[in-house]
Amino acid sequence: MSKSRLPLIDACDVAPLVREPLSTESAVELAGMLKALSDPVRLRLLSVVASHTGGEACVCDISVGMDVTQPTISHHLKVLRTAGLLDSERRGSWVYYRVLPKALQKLSHVLGTDSLTGSR
């Protein structure tokens, strides 16, 4: 399609990413989350945990199919925990991870995806 045939978008139709300016505290928190998610391995780890049955996954299940060593996976999981995206719980000799829904809600709000689902 030529450039002349592309539809024009009215500037008024574009929704802002956020509904109000971020506070310094919120910006620092969200930047930490986004920085943690900027690594492909961490993004993949988060998706593995989030999509696992019951919403949580044992570290032994998380490492299956990953092309990195177990110490590297542990490092990335720590970064995701520190960023407030994951929580963990030790059960016996295994550690189970789960995504924190509140963190995903914060990301959803700032990225404007909650408006796509109709909730505001």
What value, to the nearest 5°, has the Cα angle with vertex 101 and ends 60 and 35? 75
pLDDT digits over 34-61, tens only?
999 999 999 999 999 999 988 899 988 8
pLDDT of residue 112: 72
CATH topology of domain 24-107: Arc Repressor Mutant, subunit A (1.10.10)
Three-state DSSP at 90 gives: strand
pLDDT of amino acid 13: 52
Question: What mean pLDDT is reported for the chain?
Answer: 82
